[in-house]
Amino acid sequence: MKILVIGSGGREHTLVWKISQSPKVSKIFCAPGNAGISHLAQCVDIGEDNMVGLANFAQKMKIDLTIVGPELPLSRGIVDEFDKLGLKIFGPNQKATQIESSKVFSKYLMKKYNIPSASYAVFQDIKQAFDYVKQQAFPLVIKADGLAAGKGVFIVQGIKQAQEALDSLMKKKIFGDAGEYVVIEEFLEGEEISILAFSDGKTVLPMVPSQDHKKIFNQDKGPNTGGMGAYSPVPFYNDLSRETVLQKILKPTIEGLKKEGREYKGVLYAGLILTKEGPKVLEFNARFGDPETQVVLPRLETDLIEIFNAVIEGNLHKINLKWKDNAVVCVVIASGGYPGKYQKGKVIGGLKNLEEMKDIIAFHAGTKLQDEKVVSSGGRVLGITAWADTIFKAKEKAYEGVEKIYFEEMYYRKDIALKGIK
């Protein structure tokens, strides 16, 4: 089979790496890809948002299956476009993707189908929003309705901060139309966990759990990022939580979406918080997580292409997901200054040394080739990912790998996976 993967991050490098292990696959293309991906796939210079370009390429190259990594093309309806042209593609259609691209829709769905989540209210008018805020207890969570690259959530401690957040979203419109509506919700406390699941619209098969590290600094301090590292399994996610999440969250969500005429085929990512009252949903995403994918897919034994085909054909009930009984840890190396301003184009050293190590891989996120050298080209640059029989050993190995890498002003957290070890 000829495969096209859309995207250019660590998630896509991991997808390409896993797909390359399938005996069903003869050739992989990635649009646009990165320096690491170019060792496993032919990178083509078409942007993830260039729907016409991607469809033309898939037609011309007779691609058998396209896999969409990021949310942007999904939210713009790439799956609907490919379907119309008779091109096989993995991911939810535009209407189903709204579970991620509209928080107003996802909150409505959860409320209607009794899926545990924070209580909330929706506003389009800034004055009404502010009047509501004045009557609430703090902390309070204010969210842009639309896509904001993980930056549209404000946890506010008082009236002044709330006013600032509402001004940014609704007056200054820092995220444009994404802030036309805002969701204001109750602040929840607990450990966060990511559960990714395959669904063909009827059957739901959860993957192994993982925990992301969203904040930039050690001990979960500082601003949110796309994710600074992850590990799997998560020891405090027990059998009871697993069963509750499947029966009370994942299944009712997929069934609810079907009832709303939005059959969901793809990966459903539930961002959960384990509260005293049980697991609740913080958000849904319509795709694989990044960096969660880096720690989940190395544990998968089942052929990923077989799973993708079963999802598309509505045969997921025939698949039995098999997992390795090991642990995986991914430490993200970022450009100094991320998630704020940072410099690109720094030459990355040490990748060859890392290649000589066993049970470890550098998944590339923001890298590109320049004069035959690998240079940084984004905020998150590499995800050093190691596996072993325990989380502790996988963490030690991942940091051993991190030590081999060098580029100017590189930054990484020192405490990835510690919560999984205690």
Contact partner at residue 290 from ligand AMP, ligand GLY, none, CB < 5 to 8 Å by partner kind: ligand GLY
Contact partner at residue 185 from ligand AMP, ligand GLY, none, CB < 5 to 8 Å by partner kind: ligand AMP
Beta carbon nearer to ligand AMP, 139 or 336:
139
Q: Angle at CA 376, nearest 5°, toward 372 and 381? A: 125
Would you put residue 409 in left (φ > 0), alpha (ψ -120 to 50) or beta? left
The verdict on 366 binding ligand GLY (CB under 6 A) reads no
**What is the C-alpha separation between 131 and 408, in angstroms, rounded?**
48
The verdict on 100 binding ligand AMP (CB under 6 A) reads no
Which CB contacts under 8 angstroms, 24+ apart, belong to 172-181? 175/144, 175/146, 175/148, 175/151, 177/146, 178/144, 178/145, 178/146, 178/147, 178/148, 178/152, 179/144, 179/145, 179/146, 179/148, 179/152, 180/124, 180/145, 180/146, 181/104, 181/122, 181/123, 181/124, 181/145
Number of residues that make up the chain: 422
Q: What is the contact mask toward ligand GLY in residues 372 to 401, using x (rule: CB under 6 A)? A: ------------------------------
Q: Which stretch binds ligand AMP (CB under 6 A): 185-193, 230-238, 310-318, 370-378?
A: 185-193
Contact partner at residue 141 from ligand AMP, ligand GLY, none, CB < 5 to 8 Å by partner kind: ligand AMP
The verdict on 188 binding ligand AMP (CB under 6 A) reads yes
Q: Using CB under 6 A, which of 145, 200, 263, 290 touches ligand GLY?
A: 290
Beta carbon nearer to ligand GLY, 307 or 332:
332
The 8-class DSSP code of residue 301 comes to -
For residues 233 and 298, the answer to whether their CB atoms sit within 8 Å is no
The verdict on 153 binding ligand AMP (CB under 6 A) reads yes
- Whether residue 139 is preceded by a cis peptide bond, meaning omega within 30 degrees of 0, is yes
Nearest-approach distance from CB 117 to ligand AMP, in angstroms: 8
Nearest-approach distance from CB 197 to ligand GLY, in angstroms: 14
Q: Using CB under 6 A, which of 25, 141, 162, 388 touches ligand AMP?
A: 141
The verdict on 274 binding ligand AMP (CB under 6 A) reads no
Q: Using CB under 6 A, which of 164, 167, 191, 192 touches ligand AMP?
A: 192
Q: How far is CA 186 from CA 143, 244, 378, in A?
A: 11, 21, 34
Calculate the CA 403 to chain-centre distance: 26
Q: Using CB under 6 A, which of 7, 289, 366, 420 touches ligand GLY?
A: 289
| Bridge partners for 178 per DSSP | none
Beta carbon nearer to ligand GLY, 100 or 263:
100
The sign of the CA dihedral 35, 36, 37, 42 is positive
Q: Where are the alpha helices (DSSP H) in 209-303?
A: 239-244, 251-259, 292-296
Q: According to CB under 6 A, which residues from 193 to 252 bind ligand GLY?
A: 212, 227
Q: Using CB under 6 A, which of 253, 285, 335, 376 touches ligand GLY?
A: 285
Residues lying near ligand AMP in the complex (CB under 6 A): 118, 141, 143, 150, 153, 155, 185-188, 192, 214, 224, 271, 282-283
